[in-house]
Every structure is written in C-alpha cells, then in structure tokens.
Amino acid sequence: MAPVPPPQLSARKSPRQARATATLEAIFEATIQVLLTDGPTRLTTTRVSARAGVSVGTMYQYYPHKQALLYAVTERYLNTVAETVERTCLQNHGAPLAQMSDTLVKAYWDAKTMQRNATRALYLVALEVNTSDLAEACMQRIEAATAAMFDSAPDAKFADLALVNLTFLTVLFGTVRSLFTRKMTEESERRVGDELSVMCLRYLEASKIA
C-alpha cells in the first residue's frame, strides 16, 4: 500500500548505528522547523543542517539531494495523518452514523487546527518535489478506513457507498483547507465549521437507502 519512492528520490542509506538514527531524526525535525519558521523558499540545505546541528555533508550521506529529503519528510507526515484517521475509524466501528460523521469531521478539524502550519508547509513542499503519489496513497488509506467504518453503521445502508464516501471526504478535506487558508475570525471559523458538520451529516442521511 505504501508507495515505493521513485529511485531518484530514495534515501541513500539507512542508519546502522544508533548515532546515525539520532542524526536522521534531528534532520527531520529541523526540516519541519525551518519550513515553519523560515518558509519554504528559505529552506536551504545549509539552514536545515545548521538547525539540525550537523554538517551539510552529513545530510548528503542520507539523501542524495534536497528533493529526496523533502520527499521523506512528507512521507513521514502523511503516514502520521493516515494512521490517525485509521485509528479514529476503528474506534467508531459499529457506531451510529451521526456519531461517525461528527467524530470524523471533528477529528480532521482538530488535527488540522493543531498542525495548521505543518500542513501548509508540507503543501508548499509539493512545489519542489512531486509528492502526488504519496498524497494519493495516503488518501486511499483514508478512503478505505472510512468506507469500512461507514459500512459498519447499524443504522444506514448506502446504494453507492464508494461515491458517498468519496464525496464526503472531498468536501470535508477541501472545506477545511479552504477555511484555514483564509484569514477569518476564530468566531467565523467555528461557526462555518459547525455548519459543515451539519451539512455533512445531512448529506449522509439523505444518501441512505430508505
């Protein structure tokens, strides 16, 4: 399910000693930090390695170039996202439809709220490296998890589960992103969020088989 990274974007080697693992971890962390504090156009290899407390050379021991590093960081981030959603879905297996919808919207909303900057940062990374295969893989994991959850709802059956599921997710993800992109008062944000919740649930309800 996890996509095999294209060869030019692959890491050069994996750490064998504990020291190396720590180094790699520091590099990852530093990349995110720089992305958040300095922005994607200021993300230079020198800056990242400086922040990580290692030399540039060390970075290049693990990644053949900047792109490969960014690819790896994105991969790790998206994995976390997918795992979060999968966990949430499992926890709501067999729950009533309304609870499923609300939980998902809330979970996604909260995740994004907490990682607003990280999300934005990673999106910008996509400019320099083509991470669409990673994003697609992540989406498919999420789709599978939510589909399985919806399918387990005791109070709802759908004529076309796949379509309903896909629409639900597309609207949810798109709207949340849209909301966060704009500068809006917290108040407005919250109120639109509530409306979204209602809208999503209403959509699900209306799609049920009589």
Partner DNA sequence: TATGAATGAGTTTTCATTCAT
Partner DNA sequence: TATGAATGAAAACTCATTCAT
- Partner whose footprint covers residue 61, from its own copies, DNA, none (CB < 5 to 8 Å by kind): DNA
Please pick, from the candidates 2, 6, 8, 22, the single residue that binds DNA as defined by CB under 7 A: 22
Task: Give the footprint of DNA on residues 44-63 (CB under 7 A).
Answer: 44-46, 53-58, 60-61
Taking CB under 8 A as the rule, which mask of x and - marks residues 122-161 in contact with its own copies? --x--xx---x--xx--x----------------------
Q: How far is CA 7 from the centre of its chain?
A: 23
Please, what is the minimum distance in Å from the beta carbon of residue 183 to its own copies?
Answer: 6
Question: 77-96 burial by CB neighbour count: b if 16+ within 10 A, else e?
Answer: bbeebbeebbebbeebeebe
CA 110 vs CA 81, 88, 190: distances in Å: 12, 12, 11
CA 114, CA 15: separation in Å to the nearest integer? Answer: 30
> Taking CB under 8 A as the rule, does residue 192 contact its own copies?
yes
CA 182, CA 23: separation in Å to the nearest integer? Answer: 37
Please pick, from the candidates 13, 87, 106, 177, the single residue that binds DNA as defined by CB under 7 A: 13
Cβ atoms of 172 and 107 closer than 8 Å: no
Kindly state the DSSP code that residue 183 receives in the 8-state scheme.
-
Q: Which of the ranges 1-9, 13-21, 106-114, 142-150 carries the binding residues for DNA, by CB under 7 A?
A: 13-21
Please pick, from the candidates 48, 97, 100, 176, the single residue that binds its own copies as defined by CB under 8 A: 176
Interacting residues toward DNA by CB under 7 A = 13, 15-17, 19-20, 22-23, 41-46, 53-58, 60-61, 64-67
